Structure 1
C-alpha cells in the first residue's frame, strides 16, 4: 500500500480518538466548567450531528480544490480547534470548537475516502479502505483508553492538547506523501476529454436518489447504527449485567477494538471480489451474534468473547458496505466520499440516540443490544427485498 495511505490513516486515528474520547472526560469537563453533565453531553451530540451535515457540505465547498489542499486545510482546522479547546474556560466556546472539529473531521474523511481509492488500482480499493479505516479501529484500542488515562492523570485539557499535537505528524505525512495532483481527482483537461462534460454538483447530488446508492447508504447506516448503539452503552452491560468491576470496561472496549481491527482487515482483503459473500454470510452472523450476546451477557467470559466476535463481524460487514457506497457513487467523483462518510455517521447518530432513549425509558442495560439487533434485522430484510426485486445488483 502507498505511504500516503498510512499518513491518512494516522489522521483518521487522531480524529477517531477525539470523536470517542469524551465518554471518559465529560464528568471532569462538567465539574471544571460548572455545567450539568447533561449539558456537557451536548459536546458529543453536536460532534455527531456536525459529522453528518459536514461531510456533504465540506465536500461541496471544497469541490474545486485539489485533494491535498482540502486534507491539509481540514486537518489544520481540526488541530486548531483542539488547541483552543485545551485552554478555554468557556463552555460555549468549547461547544463551538467541537462543531467546527466535526465539520473538519467530516470534510477530511470524505476526501480521504475518495483519495484512498485513487491512490491504488480499482481492484485494490477494499484493501486501501481497510488501511484507512483501521485508523478508527486502532483509536478504539489505543487512542481512547490512552486519552482516558491521560485525562485522569493530568486533566481533560491535556487530552485535547495531545490530540492537537498528534495532528502535526499526520499533517507532515500528508504534505510529503500525498501528491499535489492525483489522477481522477480533478477534471480531465486533455484534448480527448474536452468534449466530455464533467459532472456538475447538481448531477452528483442527483445520484443520492438513485436506488443503488440510496440502498447502499441505508444499509451502511443501519448496520453501523446497530454497532454504535451496542458499543456506546457497552459499559453498563459489563458492570450491571455481567457483574464485572469498572476496571473490566476498558478490557471489553479493547477487545471490541481488536475485533473491529481484524474485521476491517479481513474485509479489506476480500471485499473487492467477494462483497456479496461477505454480506450474505456476515449479515446473519451479525444478527445472531447480537441475540447470543444478550442471552449470555450475565456470563463474564462468554460476554467478553462475544464482544470480540461482534467487533470483528460488525466492522467487517460495515466496512464492506462503506466500500459498496463508494462503488455506487462512482459517478460522483468529488462527492462520493462524503456520501460514505454521511452514511457511516448517520448510523453513529441514530444508533446511540435510540439506545439512549430505551435506557432513559427504563428498558434495562441490554436494551441497546436489542436496538442493535433491530437495526441489523432491518438491514437484512431490506437487503433481501431489494435483492429479489433487483437481481442484477
Structure 2
C-alpha cells in the first residue's frame, strides 16, 4: 500500500477527530455557552449538513484541479475554522465554523477517496478504502477519548486547537507524499459524470449508507450524555467507554476491509443486522455502566464493519463517475450523521428518555437491513442475467 494512502488516512484522522469529539463534550459546550443539550447537539448535525452539501459541490468545483492542490486547500481552510471556533463565545459563530469546516472536510474526503483508489490496483480498492476510512476509526479510538479528556481538563476549546495543529501536520505530510499529478481516469466533463450516476443500485447503496449511519449516530451522538444521565457514570468513565466503542470500530473496519472486495453483500446484510442488535443491547444495558461499555463496543464494530464496502462499491456501480460517486457517498454518510442527532434531539425535546434513542436506532437499522437484502437480491439477479445473456452485459455492475 503506497505511503500516500496512509497519509490520506491520517488526514481523515485529524479532521475526523473534530467530527466525533463533540459526542463526549456536548455537556461541557452546553454549560459554557448556556444552551440546552439538544441545542448543543445541533453542532453535530450542522457539521454533517456541511459535509452533505460540500461533498458534491467541491467534487465538481475542483474536478480539474490537481488532487494534491485540492487536498492542501481543504486542510488549510479546515485548520483556520477550528482556530476561529476556539476563540468564540457565540454559539451561532461556533455553529457556522462547524458548517464551513465540514464543507471543506467533505471535499477532502471525496478527493482523498478518488486519490487512494487511483494509487492502487483494482483488486486492492477495498483495502485502500479501509486504510482511508480507518483514519476515522483511529479518530474514534484515539482522537475521541483523548479529545474528551483534553476538553474535560483544559476546556473544550483546547480540543479545537489540537485538531487545527493535527490538520496542519497532515497537510505537510500530504505535500511531501501525494504525487503532484495523480492519474484517476476521471471523466472531466461534469455532465458525463452526472449521467453515470443513473444506476438504481447506486442509490440503494446511498440509502443503506444514510439509514445505517443515522442508526449509529442517534446513539453515538448522545453517548456521553447517556452515560452521565442514565448510567450515572462518573465523568472519568466517559472516555473509557468511548475508547471501547473505538476498539469495536477498529475490529469492525478491519473485518469489513478484508471482506469488502470479496463478499460485499454479506458484509452489508450482516453488518446492518448486527447494528440493530447492538442498538437494542445498548438500550437494555444503559442503566449499568459496565454493560453499557460492552454494548458500546459492539455498536462501534457494527457501525464500522460496512464502511469499506459502502465506500468502495460505488466505483464498481458507477465507473463513469469516479469523482461524483464517492462524493455522494460522503453526502449519504453525512445525511445519516445529520439525521441521527437531530432525531435524537427531537425525541428528547418531546420528553423521551435517553434509552429511547438506541431503540430508535434499531428501527432505523431494520430499514437498512431491508435495503441491503434488496440490493443483494438485485446483485444475484444481475449475475444470473450476465450468465444467461453475456452479450447484453457489458459491465459487471
Per-residue CA deviation, residues 23-53 of structure 1 (Å, 9 max, x unaligned), is: 4555655666677766655543322211101
Residue in structure 1 matching 2:275, options 286, 309, 318:
286
Please say if 1:68 is aligned against 2:68: yes
Residue in structure 1 matching 2:209, options 220, 230, 237:
220
- 1:180 paired residue number: 180
Measured in 2, the distance between the counterparts of 1:159 and 1:13 equals 14
Measured in 2, the distance between the counterparts of 1:243 and 1:31 equals 18
Contact 1:232 1:352 (C-alpha < 8 Å) held by counterparts = yes
Contact 2:218 2:340 (C-alpha < 8 Å) held by counterparts = yes
Measured in 2, the distance between the counterparts of 1:274 and 1:252 equals 31
Contact 1:75 1:171 (C-alpha < 8 Å) held by counterparts = yes
Measured in 2, the distance between the counterparts of 1:296 and 1:33 equals 31
1:226 Cα shift?
Answer: 0.7
Measured in 1, the distance between the counterparts of 2:291 and 2:31 equals 37
Contact 1:230 1:369 (C-alpha < 8 Å) held by counterparts = yes
- 1:201 paired residue number: 190
1:299 Cα shift?
Answer: 4.2
Measured in 1, the distance between the counterparts of 2:35 and 2:231 equals 32
1:281 Cα shift?
Answer: 2.9
TM-score (norm 2): 0.87
Residue in structure 1 matching 2:354, options 361, 365, 368:
365
Per-residue CA deviation, residues 305-346 of structure 1 (Å, 9 max, x unaligned), is: 222122112210233223223432322022222111111111
Secondary structure of 1:272 counterpart: coil
Please say if 1:232 is aligned against 2:221: yes
Measured in 1, the distance between the counterparts of 2:38 and 2:258 equals 42
Please say if 1:309 is aligned against 2:298: yes
Question: Which moved further from structure 2: 259-268 or 91-100?
Answer: 91-100
Matches within 5 A, 1:98-177: 98-177=98-177
- 1:190 paired residue number: none
Residue in structure 2 matching 1:383, options 372, 375, 393:
372
Residue in structure 2 matching 1:392, options 374, 382, 389:
382
Residue in structure 2 matching 1:329, options 318, 324, 348:
318
1:64 Cα shift?
Answer: 0.8
Contact 2:24 2:238 (C-alpha < 8 Å) held by counterparts = no
Contact 2:148 2:239 (C-alpha < 8 Å) held by counterparts = no
Please say if 1:356 is aligned against 2:325: no
Measured in 1, the distance between the counterparts of 2:157 and 2:226 equals 29
Contact 2:79 2:164 (C-alpha < 8 Å) held by counterparts = yes
Question: Which moved further from structure 2: 254-263 or 141-150?
Answer: 141-150
- 1:11 paired residue number: 11
Unaligned runs of 5+ in 1: 187-197
Measured in 1, the distance between the counterparts of 2:94 and 2:224 equals 26
Contact 2:12 2:133 (C-alpha < 8 Å) held by counterparts = yes
Secondary structure of 2:306 counterpart: helix
Measured in 2, the distance between the counterparts of 1:89 and 1:156 equals 12
Residue in structure 2 matching 1:247, options 216, 222, 236:
236
Sort the Cα spacing of 1:27 and 1:298 in 2 relative to 1 into closer, same or farther, 3 A.
Answer: closer
Sort the Cα spacing of 1:170 and 1:282 in 2 relative to 1 into closer, same or farther, 3 A.
Answer: same
TM-score (norm 1): 0.88
Q: How many residues were matched structurally? A: 382
Measured in 1, the distance between the counterparts of 2:132 and 2:261 equals 15
Question: Which moved further from structure 2: 203-212 or 331-340?
Answer: 203-212
Unaligned runs of 5+ in 2: 384-397
Contact 1:216 1:328 (C-alpha < 8 Å) held by counterparts = no
Measured in 2, the distance between the counterparts of 1:213 and 1:53 equals 19
Sort the Cα spacing of 1:310 and 1:80 in 2 relative to 1 into closer, same or farther, 3 A.
Answer: same
Question: Which moved further from structure 2: 356-365 or 213-222?
Answer: 356-365
Please say if 1:211 is aligned against 2:185: no
Question: Which moved further from structure 2: 10-19 or 147-156?
Answer: 147-156
1:239 Cα shift?
Answer: 4.0
Sort the Cα spacing of 1:294 and 1:45 in 2 relative to 1 into closer, same or farther, 3 A.
Answer: closer
Contact 1:67 1:185 (C-alpha < 8 Å) held by counterparts = no
